[in-house]
Amino acid sequence: PDLFTSPDYYNLDDLLNDEHKMVREATRSWVKKELSPIIEDAAQKSEFPKVLLKGLAEIGAFGPYIPEEYGGAGLDQISYGIMMQEIERGDSGIRSTASVQSSLVMYPIYAYGSEKQKKKYLPKLASGELIGCFGLTEPDFGSNPSGMLSNFKDEGNHYLLNGAKLWISNAPFADIAIVWAKNEEGRIHGLIVERGMEGFSTPETHNKWSLRASATGELIFNNVKIPKENLLPNKNGLGAPLGCLDSARYGIAWGAIGAAMDCYDTALRYAKERIQFGKPIAVKQLQQKKLAEMITEITKAQLLAWRLGSLRNEGKATSAQISMAKRNNVEMALKIAREARQVLGAMGITGEYSIMRHMMNLESVVTYEGTHDIHLLITGLDITGHSAF
């Protein structure tokens, strides 16, 4: 079913400018035409649909807010958010690819890279000629990346990189990886690692029940020689990767709304059409409670995301504010997916409808980019001044 109508219960449209609406229409129509028809099959087969890369680049989803001089779309933060919403209405895994490419690969090169690095990589990443991935998480260090073991030594004319990263989106086919590793003093730096460098491999992680249309893998570094010019020179320490996460988490706060809207739309339509006990189930109070709560939660999430986007446009959003929105909106979407699935009864478990796929996808979204618990602890730290990690 492809009858998406964007719920807009509080006239959020009045807060959007023409550019925001244009970006939404362009992204939405691409999702309807190119993504929706093939995504269920890709997810069932557990294959990343590479055929979508070109279109993602064309709609500006690779670097929406990166300035045009580097090939980006030069849009504001609200447009970036709306784009993520519309892509995730289609599938969280495809939104992941756009998030990683934009916020975790292009952003660190743009914000921490040299002019030479920016000119070399950003236009090709924006056009999709190069695809990137972001390696922070390790087998033994997920929520606490500061303990990472990946490391590099200065060997005079190059660095020697060793270690391993796990759960890396896009890893199996990425051309470059932004890898976070410690130098000999234990300080975290970002390095640009390129496919083909000797000792670098990217095995795929199989058998996921979630984000099946996104490729996930490992990054393994076995004495990889990294040219010195591939170190990101302008920021180091844990704050460098976390700065990228701020941008990706913000996009997810919007993205999750898209998944929730698709579940709500589907459940509402189904409830009006499905007849049981001689009447549409939409006349039943229990079903109305589910649907009414869904639209209430979506509306609250939209306002949170919009306000956060405005703060980001003014350069005023804090990391803790971003954590609150990521946590709230993903949990909201996950709950809506679970409720919406029930509205569809048995039909809800099939691939005829997108709800179960969204639900399974959101189990990753609630874990990656900082888990639900970690974001709560970030809020806790912000309001009490005490770290409870």
Least distance from ligand FAD to the Cβ atom of residue 314, Å: 28
Does the annotation count 25 as an active-site position?
Answer: no
Positions 97 through 116 that interact with ligand TGC (CB under 6 A): 99-100
Binds ligand TGC by CB under 6 A, chosen from 169, 202, 230, 321:
169
Q: Is 378 in the site for ligand TGC (CB under 6 A)?
A: yes
Among 182-190, 285-293, 352-360, 364-372, the segment contacting ligand TGC (CB under 6 A): 364-372
Min dist CB 136 to ligand FAD, Å, is 3
Among 66, 136, 253, 256, binds ligand TGC (CB under 6 A): 136
Nearest distance from C-beta of residue 312 to ligand FAD, angstroms: 21
Q: Is 347 exposed, middle or buried (0-12, 13-18, 19+ CB in 10 A)?
A: middle
Q: How do strand 176-182 and strand 132-135 relate by DSSP bridges?
A: parallel
- Which partner from the list ligand TGC, ligand FAD, none does 135 bind, CB cut-off 5 to 8 Å by kind? ligand FAD
Distance CA 228, CA 160 (A): 10
Interacting residues with ligand TGC between 183 and 242 (CB under 6 A): 237-239, 242
Three-state secondary structure call for residue 279: strand
Based on CB atoms, which residue is closest to ligand TGC, 144 or 288? 144
Strands 200-201 and 275-276: unpaired
- Cα distance between residue 174 and residue 319, in whole Å: 28
Name the helix (H) or strand (E) containing 276: strand 275-276
Shortest distance, CB of residue 354 to ligand FAD, whole angstroms?
18
| CB of 200 closer than 8 Å to CB of 193 | yes
* 253: nearest Cα among 208, 294, 307: 307
In the complex with ligand TGC, the residue whose CB is nearer, 136 or 232, is 136
Centre a 10 Å sphere on the Cβ of residue 33 and count the other Cβ atoms it contains.
11
Show Cβ contacts of residue 97 under 8 Å, excluding neighbours closer than 6 positions: 48, 52, 53, 56, 131, 169, 170, 214
Secondary structure class of 38 (helix, strand, coil): helix
Residues 295-354 that bind ligand TGC (CB under 6 A): 319
- Interacting residues toward ligand FAD by CB under 6 A: 100, 133-137, 142-143, 167-169, 211, 216, 364, 367-369, 371, 373-374, 377, 389
- Interacting residues toward ligand TGC by CB under 6 A: 96, 99-100, 134, 136-137, 143-146, 169, 237-239, 242-243, 245-246, 248, 319, 368-370, 374, 378, 389
Query: What residues are labeled active site?
Result: 369
